[in-house]
Amino acid sequence: MGISRSSRHKRSASGAQRAHYRKKRKFELGRQAASTRLGVKRIHPVRVRGGNLKHRALRLDSGNFAWGSEHVTRKTRIISVVYNASNNELVRTNTLVMGAIIQVDATPFRQWYEAHYALPVSKKGAKAAATEEKKEGEEKKRSNHAQRILTDRRKDAKIDNLLETQFGAGRLYAAISSRPGQVGRADGYILEGKELEFYLRKLRTGKQKHAQ
């Protein structure tokens, strides 16, 4: 039996069985779940209704992630799946689906921040930057115009403490907002603010349950 999306097999609102008056139809078909996993990129095109194409991602290892508060997007490596509200099995198997909470490599975002603001992201980086500046001395001279731009930017250069600790570890929590099994991409956004706090609580409670 093929996978069907019809509801003719279901009972009516009163509980009565519906009459079988026709066979399955092509336009009612369903397909197997993509179950996109972490791995070297592998995408299959699937011909669908109307001659259109879907891009079924079977393996993905990177995606475009937006840092909302800084209005910047970078392509970065996906490290692992850490939380899924629907099923813990999807965490264990590193399955990439829409809404999954993952960890991504923080390097592209750190490099952008340090180039944009000319400031280190974390306190660890601040110590390293201070020693480097002493060594370089006069090599990093900027024009007055460039310096004014930097000082203007630095007025808004504030990072949440939770994000700062993640930058120190080199990994950021992110959510997938695209549908890898339909579009062949695992794109999303970096978690911040209340949403980040919410998922960190979920991760802590999950660890406590498994520890007992």
Give the pLDDT means over successive 10-residue stretches in the chain (212 positions). Answer: 87 95 92 95 96 96 94 96 95 96 96 89 64 55 83 80 92 96 96 94 80 55
The confidence score (pLDDT) of residue 77 equals 96
The confidence score (pLDDT) of residue 157 equals 77
What is the pTM for the complete model shown? 0.84
The confidence score (pLDDT) of residue 138 equals 47
The confidence score (pLDDT) of residue 152 equals 79
The confidence score (pLDDT) of residue 145 equals 86
Q: What is the 3-state secondary structure (H, E, C) of the chain?
A: CCCECCCCCCCCCCCCCCCCCCCCCHHHECCCCCCCEECCCEEEEEECHHHCEEEEEEEECEEEEEEHHHCEEEEEEEEEEEECCCCCHHHHCCECCCCCEEEEECHHHHHHHHHHHCCCCCHHHHHHHHHHHHHHHHHHCCCHHHHHHHHHHHCCCCCCHHHHHHHHHCEEEEEECCCHHHHCCCCEEECCHHHHHHHHHHHHHHHHHHHC
